[in-house]
Amino acid sequence: MNRLPTRPNGCGTHHGPRYKQTGFWFTLGTFIVSGLVLTNVISPTDENQVGAVVNHVIQSVSLVASLASGLKLYKYKEQAKEEKQEEKEKPVPKRTTKPKRKTNSRGRPRKRD
């Protein structure tokens, strides 16, 4: 029986928790608006307008979160770059003597005289 390779997170291509994905929030927003229409909190004539507003809000929040994430990554890379530069500027102590070999060229223990 041939088995197809499975993905570590099961079916699909998602990475990480579902609540961190934009699609989750769009689906949740749609369900909430539909529930409010079913309970007559929102009239069916306003459903499309409210749904569009909810989707716009989710897109805006997603965009702001993406920008914040990108800024955080940029700052992290700049900090790592500065630390690497500081490491290069430190003087490297030089070894004055060579370490004695405990084995011969074949990797066997050296014979003592």
Q: Say if 43 falls within a structural domain.
A: yes
Q: Say if 67 falls within a structural domain.
A: yes
| Residue 51 belongs to domain spanning | 20-85
Pairwise CA distance, residues 43 & 24, whole Å: 25
pLDDT value of residue 85: 87
Q: What is the pLDDT of residues 45-80, one digit of tens each?
A: 888 898 899 889 989 998 998 899 999 999 999 999
pLDDT value of residue 67: 92
pTM of the model: 0.53
* Number of structural domains in the chain: 1
How does DSSP assign 36-59, residue by residue? Answer: HHHTTSS-GGGHHHHHHHHHHHHH
Q: Say if 49 falls within a structural domain.
A: yes
Q: Say if 98 falls within a structural domain.
A: no
Q: Say if 12 falls within a structural domain.
A: no
Mean confidence (pLDDT) of the chain: 80
- Which residues is 103 bridged to in the sheet? 109
Choose between 98 and 50: higher pLDDT.
50
